[in-house]
Amino acid sequence: MKFLSVTLLAFVALLAAPVSSAEDIGQVKVTAGAVHIQRGAERLPATVGARVRVSDTVVTGSDGSVGITFTDNTLLSAGPNSVLMLERYTFNSTTHDGKFHARLNRGSLAIVSGKIAKQAPDAMVIKTPSSLLGVRGTEFLVKVEGTE
């Protein structure tokens, strides 16, 4: 009976535990200078190993840069004074179907696309204040000047 009680308690604890890894879409691999992740009202340091999620905004300072690897193996680098919003991201690791939508409000961005764009070239979209970029190749660079 004691075993059953402990097992039931462990099961309930697992159900109540946060499932944050299911929400993670990528990981910070390299960072330099001032970089943070804005997640709702929280301002989190963008240290190596930090996880990013849909709706996060990655912000770099005047001396900042960050490199992020996403779960589909997309590689993204944001340069100084960048504001990048991760608007939509879905990825099925079996079929490689998914969507990657981001908005670069300011700064520079270099991307080497991963499995999502290779599976469906129109599935990756980067928006800027004055344009909409549909990714058709595997590598591209975007720069947006001005204020947010």
Q: Is residue 37 part of a domain?
A: yes
Closest by alpha carbon to 49, among 26, 20, 28?
A: 28
Which residue segment(s) compose the domain that 103 sits in?
Answer: 23-144
pLDDT confidence of residue 143: 73
Q: Is the pTM of this model over 0.85?
A: no
Q: Is residue 10 part of a domain?
A: no
pLDDT confidence of residue 134: 56
Q: Is residue 75 part of a domain?
A: yes
Instruction: Give the chain's domain count.
Output: 1
pLDDT confidence of residue 14: 38
Q: Is residue 111 part of a domain?
A: yes
Q: Is residue 16 part of a domain?
A: no
pLDDT confidence of residue 135: 58
Q: Is residue 132 part of a domain?
A: yes
pLDDT confidence of residue 3: 39
Q: Is residue 12 part of a domain?
A: no
Give per-residue pLDDT as tens, 75-124: 999 999 999 999 999 999 999 999 999 999 999 999 998 999 888 878 98
Rounded Cα gap, residues 106 and 145, in angstroms = 6
What CATH number does residue 28 fall under? 2.60.120
95: amino acid identity, one letter: T
